[in-house]
């Protein structure tokens, strides 16, 4: 490496080390309060953790735990939300699997028809297999949720092999229930970005207007919402269908919508939730560190400490 290259590498290394030093300095850690709108401007208060009282540190710590673990149906903790989204992905996939069995869905447009495997027959085959006397102790009902389809039946595409037999049987019996979009916020959908197809680009190409502004008008979005283009984003049709989606039975949703949710939207939501989990867990560590360092007490519950 040239002398210039060595100096550049050293400078970059020193810059990263300085960033890490600033990041790990507890004097730079802050707690962000709820966002509020003041005189039409959205703002957010911040407090340095080292300036907080012990009571504030405890309150914030408990808030972090709530954001991670609470079991509220309307605003579940991130770990519970992740389970909900994972279940939604499997439910979408189970419904698509059953439609594939009925020749109502094809993984590839050019695929030929298969011999129809009705929901009733599939449900009966799985039930009869799982309730055989020799499997009674080995495969109790509470374990069916952990048994993948490939363990019981063959000749299913790899796309469906890992769906649990319990979920498949629920689909066969019309028990998948409803899909709810309440946790897929408009902010999250807009954050995914737009990837307009050629037909849509032409439709929204209005003289003297920006394409994204025309899209916002079409969707009737408030002015403060921002749109951006992304190669990994949603088409206008996809975004519109998701915005209008509130709650629907899996069995009545279109193939396109099930595929969109399973392949594109819900996996992105899982990653978003994982990021939020890491943020809250990081804040818990910072709060605990400040409590220990500045006030010499632990925020951890007593029973947690005793189990160390």
The string of pLDDT tens digits covering residues 254-300 is 999 999 999 999 999 999 999 999 999 999 999 999 999 999 989 98
pLDDT digits (tens, 9 = 90+) for 81-100: 999 999 999 999 999 999 99
Q: Which two tokens stand for residue 215?
A: 């899209």
Query: How many folded domains does the chain comprise?
Result: 2
Residues 124, 216 share a domain: no
Residues 97, 167 share a domain: yes
Residues 163, 200 share a domain: no
Residues 146, 115 share a domain: yes
Q: Which two tokens stand for residue 171?
A: 């689909």
36: pLDDT strictly greater than 50: yes
Residues 128, 96 share a domain: yes
More confident residue, 303 or 55: 55
- What angle in degrees, to the nearest 10, is found between the helix axes of 119-130 and 165-172? 140
Q: Which of 157, 180, 203 is the last residue of a domain?
A: 180
Residue 59 falls inside a structural domain = no
Residue 206 falls inside a structural domain = yes
**Nearest Cα residue to 101 out of 88, 120, 87:** 120
Residues 148, 238 share a domain: no
Residues 158, 114 share a domain: yes
Q: What is the pLDDT of residue 17?
A: 65
28: pLDDT strictly greater than 70: yes
User: Residue 305 — very low, low, confident or very high, per pLDDT cuts 50/70/90?
Assistant: very low
Residue 36 falls inside a structural domain = no
Q: Which of 206, 224, 244 is the last residue of a domain?
A: 244
Q: Which of 158, 180, 202 is the last residue of a domain?
A: 180
Residues 173, 92 share a domain: yes
Task: Burial-class residue 78 by CB neighbours within 10 Å (0-12, 13-18, 19+).
Answer: buried
Residue 298 falls inside a structural domain = no
CA 60 to CA 44: how far, in whole Å? 16
Residue 110 falls inside a structural domain = yes
Residues in the chain: 308
Q: How much of the chain, in percent, has pLDDT values that exceed 90? A: 75
Residue 171 falls inside a structural domain = yes
User: Residue 35 — very low, low, confident or very high, per pLDDT cuts 50/70/90?
Assistant: confident
Residues 205, 153 share a domain: no
Residue 249 falls inside a structural domain = no
Domain assignment of residue 124, given as a range: 78-180
For residue 47, what is the enclosing H or E element?
Answer: strand 41-48
Residue 222 falls inside a structural domain = yes
Residues 163, 112 share a domain: yes
pLDDT digits (tens, 9 = 90+) for 201-229: 999 999 989 999 999 999 999 888 889 99
Residues 162, 83 share a domain: yes
Residues 201, 171 share a domain: no
């Amino acid at each position: 490496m040239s002398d210039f290259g060595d100096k550049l590498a050293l400078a970059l290394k020193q810059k990263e080390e300085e960033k890490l030093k600033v990041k790990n300095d507890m004097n730079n850690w802050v707690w962000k309060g709820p966002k509020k709108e003041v005189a039409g401007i959205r703002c957010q208060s911040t407090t340095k953790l080292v300036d907080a009282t012990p009571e504030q540190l405890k309150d914030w710590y408990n808030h972090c735990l709530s954001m991670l673990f609470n079991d509220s149906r309307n605003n579940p903790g991130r770990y519970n939300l992740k389970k909900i989204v994972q279940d939604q992905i499997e439910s979408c996939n189970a419904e698509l699997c059953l439609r594939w069995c009925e020749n109502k869905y094809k993984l590839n447009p050019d695929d030929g028809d298969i011999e129809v495997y009705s929901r009733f027959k599939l449900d009966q085959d799985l039930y009869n297999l799982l309730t055989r006397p020799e499997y009674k102790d080995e495969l109790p009902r509470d374990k069916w949720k952990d048994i993948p389809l490939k363990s019981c039946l063959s000749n299913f595409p790899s796309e469906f092999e890992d769906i649990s037999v319990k979920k498949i049987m629920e689909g066969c019996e019309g028990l998948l229930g409803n899909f709810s979009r309440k946790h897929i916020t408009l902010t999250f959908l807009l954050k995914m970005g737009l990837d307009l197809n050629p037909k849509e680009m032409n439709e929204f190409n209005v003289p003297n207007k920006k394409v994204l502004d025309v899209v916002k008008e079409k969707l009737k979005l408030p002015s403060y919402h921002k749109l951006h283009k992304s190669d990994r984003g949603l088409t206008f049709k996809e975004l519109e269908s998701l915005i209008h989606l509130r709650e629907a039975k899996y069995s009545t949703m279109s193939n396109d919508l099930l595929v969109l949710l399973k392949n594109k939207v819900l996996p992105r939501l899982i990653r978003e939730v994982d990021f939020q989990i890491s943020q809250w867990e990081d804040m818990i560590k910072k709060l605990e560190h400040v409590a220990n360092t500045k006030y010499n007490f632990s925020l951890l519950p007593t029973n947690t400490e005793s189990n160390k």
